[in-house]
Chain A
Amino acid sequence: MRSKLALKLGAANPANASGSRGAARGCLGTAARAPYPAAVEQQNRPPQNSATNADAPASDSLAVERALRLARLGVEAAERAPFAREFERVLASFAELRRIDVSGVAPLHTPSVRIDALREDRCAPSLDRESLLANAPDAHDGFFGVPKTLGGDA
């Protein structure tokens, strides 16, 4: 199952290879200038047999793909297979958790002794718009600028 996963992810989503994300990958392709050394770069690296664990529910390519999509992470095609392998290895190592009997145990969301802190609702000074916009990569007319989302070419 692990081999199949690695192969699938290595091929990545064909729609991404030549579709609308081509430019995004072009941007990522400038990784030589990035301060991080690419952890693994071999695109055609053979799938490795890492420890599989039947308890780990992530053993299908959809799970990793979905995690990347939910996280809004545009991982390059060449990086997807090694990313998925490492992701699975980490999850598999955590699978022992799921063998611990927790029946009747209430989840501990926070150790805070004060979880319902309320205060009077009142007006107070805030930061001015100009100083908040000063850090924005793109700002005009007092607003944050983002790529066009409606009507015509982006």
Chain B
Amino acid sequence: MSARAGWNLLESLAAGSCSALDAVEAASLRTRALEPRLHAFLSTAFDGAEERAKQLDARPARGPLHGLPFAVKANLCWEGAETNAASRVLAGYRPPYSATTVQRALDAGAVALGVANMDEFGFGSSGENSAYGATRNPWDPTRAPGGSSSGAAAAVAAGSVAFALGSDTGGSVRQPAALCGVSGFKPSYGRLSRFGLIAFASSLDCVGVLAPSVEELELVMSVLSGVDERDSTSSTLAPFAPERRDDLRGVRVGAPREHFEGGVDPRVAECVRAALRECERLGASVREVELPHTRSAIATYYVIASAEASSNLARYDGVRYGTRASGDGSLQGMIEATRAHGFGPETRRRVALGSFVLSSGYYEAWYVHALKVRRLIANDFERAFEHVDVLVGPTSPTLAFRLGERAADPLAMYASDALTVPASLAGLPALSTPCGLVRDGDVDLPVGLQWIGPLGADERVLSLAGAWQRATAHHRTHPPLADLAEAAR
């Protein structure tokens, strides 16, 4: 069974030691065993997946993702599957088309196993803002898996799937990847098509990928990337071409001073410093750099992201899709009741906040001002990249926190994103890889290492992190909960 966990499937399929059907059956079995503990999925499609795997096995030609079972975050349209963004307002919505990224994965032979849980519309850093119940962290089910790609990260960490498609607006792929001990990549803004991604903040949203290792990330990125005429922001960069390296000789690594200060848990900081020493051992030179506007990034991000969210979520009015509350029977009453009833507390807060900062009299003072600070944050990165090739620091300031610990305090929750939002604001490619475990009470919890590159240098980020990962092998440690799947056989 362990030979058929998600982290072994790529190798087994490539070696021909298992068929697509074997891989999908193993994924279904494991998911059935673990779901009662994790709640990583909002819906599953085991029968359809097995049928699809049989068809793929019968074909003479194999796609690059042949037989790899994957999870689809609930905000990526998957034709015919309920795609509700974990919101009550979109309950029952079954899109008549698939997102470009989902379709490209399917066309390459990957098999979609289910719809992954998330924070409603991507608003959250713990998974607790799902209208359908929180996902639990495979390392300790009393803890949050991070968010908003909570189910995607948990499903990969538990070995249920070989990869997952998520989205990252301010850290929603990287932070849960860090808290669950998996690899998660947010490409440069525009590098992957967003057609079919349920919009949150249009100048920040990116489709991202989570997987057991950088190897799967590179393979999936090479399949998903490329211009899509249905998304005008999809970039015209050259096709994604992974670069294989085995060391970090000659690489200039920058460690942002501000990413080790403030609310960063000293145990996390020490684990990351050890990873930087490993970079040096592999031939890199490491120097400290400054990103002075880091401390303003959370406020900047939440002003801009909320403003864009308030516009994007205006479409949920009970007319075209999802649920409707009748209210007092008038059109206006219906719209207000639908939104009040259909949106969770955090969604309501962000939509109101966004409407406020965009409103007449406050627009310049809040929204435009935040856009100017955003420029200063991007300038900080540009200056740093004059001297270094890649920035390396912690992904999350803390280890996985307990479910409920931050749920009642939005500001405490927002602080979870302190180290991921800067790269999002600047549109930079960024990756989280596991870099070790820290003992916390009676459990071991993973720490995430964040790699940030210049705009468009997606291949560089993946190849440097890949070389480091193969040499250090922290990604080969898996949560003890995954043993439950073995026991359930």
A residues near B, CB below 8 A?
20-24, 27-28, 34-36, 39, 57-58, 63-64, 66-68, 70-76, 83, 86-87, 89-91, 93-94, 96-98, 100, 102, 105-114, 117, 119, 127, 131-132, 134-138, 144, 146-149, 154
Contact = CB atoms under 8 A, between A and B. Distances in A.
A43 to B, nearest CB: 17
Contact of A87 (B94, B353, B369, B372): B353
B352 A71 contact: yes
B189 A111 contact: yes
B190 A107 contact: no
A92 B208 CA distance: 32
A144 B319 contact: yes
Interface residues of B, number: 86
A21 B337 CA distance: 9
B299 A71 contact: no
Contacts of B88: 34-36
Contacts of B93: 135
Nearest to A107: B371
Interface string B312-343: 00100111111111111111111111011101
Contact of B334 (A73, A134, A146): A146
A108 B229 CA distance: 24
A114 B345 contact: no
B381 to A, nearest CB: 10
Contacts of A67: 352-353, 355-356, 359
Nearest to B79: A131
Given A23-B329, A28-B340, 9 more contacts: A67-B355, A70-B355, A74-B337, A75-B348, A91-B356, A93-B411, A112-B427, A132-B320, A134-B94
A111 B375 contact: no
A135 B92 contact: yes
A131 B355 CA distance: 32
Interface string B427-460: 1100000000000000000000000000110000
A137 B318 CA distance: 7
A64 B114 CA distance: 40
A80 to B, nearest CB: 11
17 contacts: A21-B328, A28-B340, A39-B345, A39-B408, A57-B361, A57-B366, A98-B365, A100-B296, A100-B373, A108-B374, A109-B371, A111-B455, A113-B235, A136-B321, A144-B319, A147-B330, A147-B334
B203 interface: yes
A104 B88 CA distance: 44
Contact of A63 (B300, B356, B371): B356
B353 A90 contact: yes
Contact of A20 (B94, B296, B320, B328): B328
B378 interface: yes
B299 A136 contact: no
Contacts of B328: 20-24, 154
B368 interface: yes
Nearest to B330: A154
